[in-house]
């Protein structure tokens, strides 16, 4: 048994990262089959992508995917630790599974992802949810088949959470939902240690994948018919810094753009590492999409300092303006936290001012969530929750106003859309995303799916556009 240790997870040493190429295969012995599984994923794209890896392993073990949790023999909760809300949802889900377990003791429950890396979570599960069969963390996902074998064949429970800096596991398999779009991990972990964030503790130190492994993966995806990739990392702009003397994100973007892939995106960018060369790479490569997600978190320099974000409001605005002026038709989105401990009315006003200046295409807004073990969790907070909720409402009004304004600017224009699905709202429509990552609903049939088409924008809403095939 290995339980998490947050103190240990914080440690960063000079230990060289190991690149492991031969730990992902599944022996015939492990291809047990005869069971169904259901994966419930919470949180960010990194978790979604991990779930694609888990799904591939489950299918290779000859298990079948169930339609819902209630009909599955094996339930896997891939959890998120970034906010209390996601945390509470997982415990609510465990309550639901408990009822099922009482009626069917054969149901196997696994909990993984970032919450599994938290000491208090594992402690609580060991005390109150003893029936959970497997807990594993973010560093040893590839070991799930062996753990499941132990539960099914040997009736053992497994808790295997490693609080380590981490390695790079190569040759992972992914079972993707979307045939035309794929995530490609370019790095793991984070060394920024923003004071509110648990990720550097749950995902280990920053480890870049080798450029040739990334390019090989992209070429394989192209052969599989993938049209769009999103290069994924907690802070992609820092790509390569831990691995190469003179090769960074801008070089990787240029190299990936030389492949035949039609569309390249990347998330997430920390403003601190965003270089001029990167802006040039986005501006000069036709297949790098004009879309940048650039989390600002606050418009107050005092709060930014307390968050440990390493840039000022002025530096952020300078970068924002540079990207806007050099990348044609670029969309810029952001993340904002309101109610960081002791955020004053003036601090909040500074955030609103920044939003009014930048007029973001979209923003993901959140109330600060205290994460145990982070430096910010030790600050005594005097701001009532009600005030924070009111601030969030005001902020969202500003954000929505600019989202609609930006969308309206596209009315009457023709844009390129990668059609990826039947529209959720109307089965007679399909939907897809523009180069600037805006959702468009288009009248048309399933034959358009998987194609990049010219679409005339006829109407705009806050969260989506309506379009007609040209």
Binding interface with ligand SF4 (CB under 6 A): 190, 192-194, 197, 199-200, 234-235, 270
CB of 193 to ligand SF4, least distance (A): 6
**Cα-flanking dihedrals φ and ψ of residue 374, to 5°?**
-90, 155
CA–CA dist 73, 41 (Å, integer) = 17
* CA nearest neighbour of 308 among 194, 201, 191, 200: 194
In 3-state terms, what secondary structure has residue 211?
A: helix
CB of 56 to ligand SF4, least distance (A): 25
Residues whose CB is less than 8 angstroms from the CB of residue 40 and which lie 6 or more positions away in sequence, other chains included: 69, 75, 76, 77, 78, 93
CB of 163 to ligand SF4, least distance (A): 16
**Cα-flanking dihedrals φ and ψ of residue 40, to 5°?**
-110, 120
* CA nearest neighbour of 339 among 397, 295, 383: 383
**Counting runs of H as helices and runs of E as strands, what totals does the chain give?**
13, 21
Q: 10 Å Cβ neighbour count for 437?
A: 18
Nearer to ligand SF4 among residue 234 and residue 429 (C-beta): 234
Nearer to ligand SF4 among residue 109 and residue 206 (C-beta): 206
Say which DSSP state 187 is in.
E
Nearer to ligand SF4 among residue 152 and residue 267 (C-beta): 267
CB of 197 to ligand SF4, least distance (A): 3
CB of 340 to ligand SF4, least distance (A): 12
Nearer to ligand SF4 among residue 320 and residue 402 (C-beta): 320
Nearer to ligand SF4 among residue 188 and residue 291 (C-beta): 188
Nearer to ligand SF4 among residue 115 and residue 199 (C-beta): 199
Nearer to ligand SF4 among residue 150 and residue 335 (C-beta): 335
**Cα-flanking dihedrals φ and ψ of residue 192, to 5°?**
-75, -30
CA–CA dist 330, 436 (Å, integer) = 6
CB of 291 to ligand SF4, least distance (A): 18
Nearer to ligand SF4 among residue 295 and residue 444 (C-beta): 295
CB of 210 to ligand SF4, least distance (A): 22
Nearer to ligand SF4 among residue 193 and residue 366 (C-beta): 193
CA–CA dist 142, 54 (Å, integer) = 8
CB of 199 to ligand SF4, least distance (A): 4
CB of 78 to ligand SF4, least distance (A): 18
CA–CA dist 430, 447 (Å, integer) = 9
Residues whose CB is less than 8 angstroms from the CB of residue 104 and which lie 6 or more positions away in sequence, other chains included: none
CA–CA dist 197, 199 (Å, integer) = 6
Q: 10 Å Cβ neighbour count for 263?
A: 21
Nearer to ligand SF4 among residue 112 and residue 194 (C-beta): 194
CB of 259 to ligand SF4, least distance (A): 27
Nearer to ligand SF4 among residue 159 and residue 198 (C-beta): 198
CA–CA dist 271, 303 (Å, integer) = 16
CA–CA dist 441, 468 (Å, integer) = 9
Nearer to ligand SF4 among residue 75 and residue 197 (C-beta): 197
Cα three-residue angle 434-272-186, rounded to 5 degrees:
60
Q: Strand 134-136 vs strand 108-113: parallel, antiparallel, or unpaired?
A: parallel
CB of 296 to ligand SF4, least distance (A): 11
Strand partners, 111: 77, 135
Q: Is the peptide bond before 341 cis (omega within 30 degrees of 0)?
A: no
Place of tokens 């920024």: 192
CB of 274 to ligand SF4, least distance (A): 12
DSSP 340-402: -TT--HHHHHHHHHHHHHH--SEEEEEE----TTSGGGGSPP-S-HHHHHHHHHHHHHHHHHH
């Amino acid at each position: 048994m290995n339980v998490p240790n947050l103190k240990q997870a914080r440690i960063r040493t000079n230990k060289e990262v190991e690149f492991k190429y031969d730990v992902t295969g599944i022996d015939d012995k492990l291809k047990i089959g005869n069971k169904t599984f259901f994966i419930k994923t919470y949180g960010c794209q990194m978790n979604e992508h991990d779930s694609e890896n888990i799904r591939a392993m489950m299918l290779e073990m000859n298990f079948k995917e169930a339609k819902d949790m209630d009909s599955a023999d094996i339930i896997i909760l891939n959890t998120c630790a970034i906010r209390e809300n996601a945390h509470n949802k997982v415990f609510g889900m465990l309550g639901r599974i408990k009822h099922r377990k009482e009626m069917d003791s054969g149901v196997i429950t696994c909990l993984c992802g970032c919450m599994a890396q938290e000491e208090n979570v594992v402690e609580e599960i060991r005390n109150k949810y003893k029936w959970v069969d497997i807990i594993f963390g973010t560093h040893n996902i590839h070991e799930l088949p062996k753990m499941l074998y132990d539960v099914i064949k040997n009736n053992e429970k497994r808790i295997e959470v490693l609080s380590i800096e981490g390695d790079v596991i190569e040759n992972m398999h992914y079972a993707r939902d979307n045939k035309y779009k794929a995530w490609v991990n370019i790095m793991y972990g984070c060394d920024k240690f923003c004071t509110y964030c648990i990720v550097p503790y749950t995902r280990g130190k920053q480890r870049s994948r080798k450029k040739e492994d990334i390019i090989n993966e992209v070429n394989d995806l192209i052969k599989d018919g993938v049209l769009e990739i999103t290069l994924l990392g907690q802070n992609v702009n820092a790509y390569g810094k831990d691995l190469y003397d003179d090769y960074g994100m801008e070089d990787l973007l240029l190299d990936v753009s030389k492949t035949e892939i039609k569309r390249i995106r990347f998330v997430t960018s920390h403003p601190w590492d965003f270089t001029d060369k990167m802006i040039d790479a986005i501006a000069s490569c036709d297949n790098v999409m004009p879309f940048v997600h650039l989390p600002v978190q606050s418009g107050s320099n005092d709060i930014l300092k307390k968050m440990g974000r390493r840039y000022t409001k002025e530096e952020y605005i300078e970068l924002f303006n540079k990207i806007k002026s050099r990348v044609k038709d670029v969309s810029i989105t952001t993340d904002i936290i309101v109610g960081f401990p002791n955020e004053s009315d003036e601090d909040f006003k500074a955030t609103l001012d920044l939003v009014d200046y930048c007029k973001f295409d979209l923003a993901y807004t959140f109330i600060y969530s205290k994460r145990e073990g982070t430096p910010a969790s030790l600050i005594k907070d005097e701001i009532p929750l009600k005030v924070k909720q009111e601030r969030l409402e005001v902020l969202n009004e500003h954000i929505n106003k600019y989202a609609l304004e930006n969308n309206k600017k596209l009315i009457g224009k023709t844009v390129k859309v990668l059609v990826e699905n039947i529209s959720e709202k109307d089965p007679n429509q399909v939907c897809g995303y523009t180069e600037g990552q805006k959702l468009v609903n288009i009248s048309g049939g399933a034959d358009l799916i998987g194609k990049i088409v010219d679409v005339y924008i006829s109407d705009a809403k806050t969260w989506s556009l309506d379009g007609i095939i040209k």
